[in-house]
Amino acid sequence: MNAVPVDFSAASLLAGSPSPLGATWTGDGVNFAVHASGAARVELCLFDDSGEHELVRITLPERTENVWHGFLPAPHGVPGVVYGYRAHGPYDPSYGLRYNPNKLLLDPYARAVVGKFQWNPSLFGHLPEQPTEQINTADSAPYMYKARVVQSEFAWSEDCPPAVPWRDTVIYELHVKGFTKLHPGVPERERGKFLGLAQPAVVNYLKQLGVTAVELLPVQAFVPEEFLAKRGLVNYWGYSSLAWFAPHPDYGVEDPVAEFRTMVKALHAAGIEVILDVVFNHTVEGNEKGPTLSLRGLDNAAYYKLDSTNLSRYVDRSGTGNTLSIGHGAARNLVIDCMKYWVEEMHVDGFRFDLAAVLGRDNAPFRTDAAFFKAVANEPSLRYVKLIAEPWDVGPEGYQLGRFPAGWSEWNDLYRDTVRGFWRGNPGILGNFAERFAGSSDLFRASGRRPTASINYIACHDGFTAYDATAYEQKHNEANLEDNRDGHNHNLSWNGGIEGSTDDPAVIEVRERQIRNLLATLLLSQGVPMLLAGDEFGRTQRGNNNAYCQDNEISWVDWSLAERRSWLTAFVRQLLTLRRYAAGLRRDTFLKGARQVDREHKDISWRHPLGHELNAGDWHDANARAIGVLIGHAFTDPYGTPNGHLLFLCNAGDQPCDFRLPAPTTGVVWQIVFDTSRWRANDLGDRLGAGQNCVVAPHSCVLLADGDAPSTIRSGFSLKT
């Protein structure tokens, strides 16, 4: 980074350009441009390198439509300059105007942030504990982040996006800090940082596990909400964004921007894509009683949805106090520009959008053809990135699963709830289980979308981990200091008879079966599977199902479990190997239950334990706890001809179940690939012919392959190492 002159007394601004927005190094100076449509004047404030001392304020000399701009020539205008804005204008919340030049404002397009953020009464545009109409004249600069001018150069060399097709994608959701904070293979200085994820020990683990993409919890610069800070807690997950272009400074060692790029480059070299969980539905500025940090002080009425009956108040469809006004061009352009930056300059491969229904609302109810979706589709650099929606918000008709545009995939919480419900023994859900296992065609087929539109998961950052879903029936969120009121109560979990940790071998055994059942179902289902980091070795959050504020061992991945439960990691690794072999498990089109010409079995059929295909009465049998899934044409031979079948037998009941086997391919027999009730599935050499019975133990599932399946699959899984 270039040395930045400390003496700005001789600095002056030329007219500059209204585009691009943000602070842009041109080679001979820095162009500053900021949207502030209602401002009467905007000042550029320059700071020392630490951001602690404000050195000079210079009014931006030009305004083009709604953009204020100016050009700072070298030697004053160079990469590394630290800056912020002050916007002068009317302070009248009743008209949606909240200009207050006493508040230092972070550039919405800031590429990097400097200094420390500290909650203080001066951060608020109004006087704390007073009506919001009373302006607060205290200077907020000492407590605010500042922006740093960033140079775009980086030695990407031959970095190439892996471009993994959706059908082959396996997503691994992780937290940058929590994943490496306790990792023994990461140097102490890099634990919990972007560079920690770039370490060979971490990258090799992910590659050997078999995942193809990491989905990172928010890495855009964020700050904890004030109520958490007062309790001595933080927003660990990061869903309290302040600067969408800037990597979170706490995840950097020295230069978060360069280190983020280093991480992406290392993961790409291993064939692993990087997907960002982005928060474009709200900011940490909160409701009308919140602080003035950036968007509120620059153009409150453009960037936020305001109550049309009372412009001093905010529409809240995020549950956090405010909602981005995506229907306004300034807000929409900010999001699109941000996405382009992360793709073009930071080389990310996709985005998962938090509370994405907000983005489809414009100024009306949710629409598949909303302006934001059209804008994304029209951007060449965004045309081929992965787009994943969390398909709901807290507004009216907020649940929109299955309604996002073509090209988008969606988190399918119905998959999670149905699979958990089935394995805990809920009655009357065989049909729902079959629909979710087969790719959720009821949600996506009618609009011409594919099974890959469904992101299947049994656990994510929000809620119980997979292990906790087998060990706790009640949430245990006391550490969040909300008297265990936070977090949802619909966990669809079963503890095996004892709540929490136990030494009872019978309970431990049933829990181990259940977690294998959940993971096996997930990785054999149609659609795109997503694993929560650590679920492959039974990570626990001690029953906390809302650990958003726990930056400690509750949330950090305990890598000692990887040693103690290596058998479970091996099971997941082998399931992912099977998924790569079996094209029939990762289809681009929905299963039809149709028999292919000259083929013995349908592409999929649902089997009763007595051997016949399920009929209408079977589907509606509320007492049924067992189902078989015959997957035809699961593999292909070297010439591309479909062959080989898989038979997945599931028994969620508390008694053994005898399944009569359908006829395998002529002249061959069924062989057990794995049985979740046994440590080692292939040590008994089980070979079963047509008409024979396969006994499936309680709370267990068995996978069989016929003789046309590859021998490496038929040889079975080792469930204990």
Residues labelled as active-site residues: 354, 390
Helix (H) or strand (E) holding 263: helix 256-269
What one-character DSSP code corresponds to residue 211? -
> Rounded to an integer, what distance in angstroms lies between the CA atom of residue 353 and that of residue 374?
16
Indicate the helix (H) or strand (E) that contains 92. Answer: strand 91-92
Q: Is 556 helix (H, G, I), strand (E, B) or coil?
A: coil
Query: Per the structure block, which two tokens stand in for 486?
Result: 């936070």
Structure tokens at 57: 């304020």
Strand partners, 655: none
Amino acid at 426: N
Nearest to 286 by CA among 113, 124, 92: 124
Helix orientation angle between 329-344 and 295-303, rounded to the nearest 10 degrees = 120
Residue 32: which H helix or E strand, with range? Answer: strand 29-35
Name which of 701, 654, 711 is nearest 525 in CA terms.
Answer: 701
Tell me the two tokens of residue 123.
Answer: 């951060």
Distance (Å, whole) CA 713 – CA 578: 7
What backbone torsions phi and psi does residue 704 show, to the nearest 5 degrees? Answer: -120, 150
Rounded CA gap, 410 and 403, in Å? Answer: 9
Write the Ramachandran bin of 306: left for phi over 0, alpha for psi from -120 to 50, otherwise beta.
beta
Amino acid at 363: N
Residue 33 has phi, psi (to 5 degrees) of -145, 135
Strand partners, 680: 718
Contacts of 619 (CB under 8 A, 6+ apart): 430, 431
How far apart CA 141 and CA 102 sit, in angstroms, is 8
Cβ 492 vs Cβ 420: under 8 Å: yes
CB-based contacts of 700: which residues, under 8 Å, 6+ apart?
513, 517, 651, 675, 676, 677
Residue 572: name the closest of 529, 517, 519 by CA: 519
Calculate the dihedral angle through the C-alpha atoms of 135, 141, 143, 147, rounding to the nearest 10 degrees: 130
Q: Report the alpha-carbon distance of residue 421 to residue 521 in Å, rounded.
A: 12
C-alpha span between 399 and 410 (Å, rounded)? 12
- Angstrom distance (rounded) from CA 558 to CA 541: 10
Q: Retrieve residue 24's tokens.
A: 């842009």
Find the radius of gyration of the CA atoms of the chain: 28
Q: Kind and range of the H or E element at 230?
A: helix 226-230
- Residues 636-646 as b/e (b if ≥16 CB within 10 A, e otherwise) read beeeeebbbbb
Tokens of residue 87, six digits: 């916007």
What are the φ and ψ backbone dihedral angles of 480, each rounded to 5 degrees? Answer: -80, -5
